[in-house]
Amino acid sequence: MVKTFRMRIVLYGIISMAVTCGAELVVLLNLRVIVEFLRRNGYRNSILGRDGMDIQVQMIILIISGGVIFLITFILLMDGLIRYVRRISNGVGKIASGDLNAEIPVRGEDEFAVIAKNVNKMTEEVKMLMEKEREAEKTKNDLITNVAHDLRTPLTSIIGYLELLKNKPDLEAKDRMRFVDIAYQKSKKLEKLIEDLFGFTKLNYGKITMKPGMLDIVKLLEQILDEFYPNFQDSGLSYEFDCPQPSILVEADGNLLARLFDNLINNAIKYGADGKMVRVEVRKEEKQVSIRVINYGKIIPEGELSHIFEKFYRVEHSRSQNTGGTGLGLAIAKGVVELHGGSITASSDIHGTVFQVKLYYSLADSPKRFETE
Ligand code: ATP
Ligand code: MG
């Protein structure tokens, strides 16, 4: 297989030379016959002297015919390549005028084949980028629609209860208190939603710069679990914290990690209330620490697992008012993990619903490049 354009030219040159030599040999061997033929056809000028053709004339004939034969052979051999270059040029022209479905055939392995391959790769990437752009535009529109809806729902009921309080000054103190309480709860919900939204957009549009430091992940998790103690009690759950080491140091942004595990543990309590207990396991791996938050109870269906990290995505059975989230918690969690160059995965079966986070001990080991303040 010819791998470079130069090799192809050399090869075609050699073939043309061989053809030319062969043809010249035939002419040379048949020179007498040619002279005889010309004589018989009436050519008797100075070129065809009495003793046959002059040696100089013979040379000139040989050189000219050799050149012509070489040129014709070479051009014939190059024809395929010239046509291929034209196809590449037409293909690039089409792509340049916006037809991203135009594909250039890849032929052989030389530089032209590499050009064709790269142009095809480039069009594929441009197509993917455009697709992503379209997707981002759609996501943005969805986000605006969802936010408008989620903000309006609690706001409508706050306004309703406040109007009730305003228009009925003679309400009993007990009812008045109840309505104030509902309006307060709804306002809190609105506040949380707005905070989550800010958190999410900041994380996703790169507005957050990490402030990493060395922190003890074991202490952090113990502290968060402690803070959730009343929530565990309210949901009738117990929790188990399983970590063989008393302390594990990780380079990370403490506030962001607290937010991440807050969301995961909050979910485990909210959606694992049927399961009696929540487990948090911490394990040391070679370059990473693995944290698993496990709850039991309702299983997340296989088809929904891949979507739960998307913003505003909520599994069908948890759309009810009593768990009442907005579907941003896991999107924020994923954003935080990715900001640290780590990974987050979810699995759910009869052995439990597991959210596993892996973080590098040192940010320098992570494949991500960091910008810090
Ligand atoms: P938010 O956290 O924004 O208040 P949310 O909890 O509904 O709302 P996410 O935390 O993003 O949103 O979770 C998305 C969905 O994934 C939840 O609605 C729930 O259906 C499912 N889910 C999340 N964590 C668990 C879990 N530990 N067990 C079972 N289902 C879960
Ligand atoms: Mg949540």
Q: Which atom of ligand 1 is nearest to the CA of 293?
A: 27
**What does the pLDDT look like over 35-77, one tens digit per residue?**
778 778 876 665 565 566 677 777 888 899 899 999 999 999 9
Which residues form the pocket of ligand 1, taking CB atoms under 6 Å from any ligand atom? 196, 263, 267-268, 271-272, 295, 298, 300, 308, 313-315, 318, 325-331, 353
Number of domains forming the structure of the chain: 3
**Structural domain contains residue 346:** yes
**Structural domain contains residue 316:** yes
- The values of phi and psi at residue 288, to 5°, are -130, 160
pLDDT at 342: 96
Residue whose CA is at the smallest distance from ligand 1 atom 20? 315
* Final residue before a domain boundary, out of 150, 175, 204: 204
Residue 181 is part of a domain; what is its CATH number? 1.10.287.130
- Same domain? For 244 and 359 the reply is yes
**What does the pLDDT look like over 127-180, one tens digit per residue?**
999 998 998 888 777 777 777 777 887 888 899 999 999 998 888 999 999 999
* Residue 288 CA to ligand 1 centre (angstroms): 25
**Structural domain contains residue 110:** no
* Residue 221 CA to ligand 1 centre (angstroms): 19
Ligand nearest to the CA of 293: 1
Q: Which of 280-289, 315-324, 330-339 has the highest mean pLDDT?
A: 280-289
Per-position b or e across 124-149, b if 16+ CB within 10 A of its CB = eeeeeeeeeeeeeeeeeeebeebbee
- Same domain? For 77 and 177 the reply is no
**Structural domain contains residue 122:** no
> How much is the pTM?
0.62
**Residue 357: strand pairing partners:** 291, 344
**Structural domain contains residue 165:** yes
SS3 254: helix
Question: What is the C-alpha separation between 71 and 65, in angstroms, rounded?
Answer: 10
- Same domain? For 60 and 196 the reply is no
* Residue 330 CA to ligand 2 centre (angstroms): 6
Domain boundaries, position 20: 5-102
**What does the pLDDT look like over 104-123, one tens digit per residue?**
999 888 899 999 999 999 99
**Structural domain contains residue 274:** yes
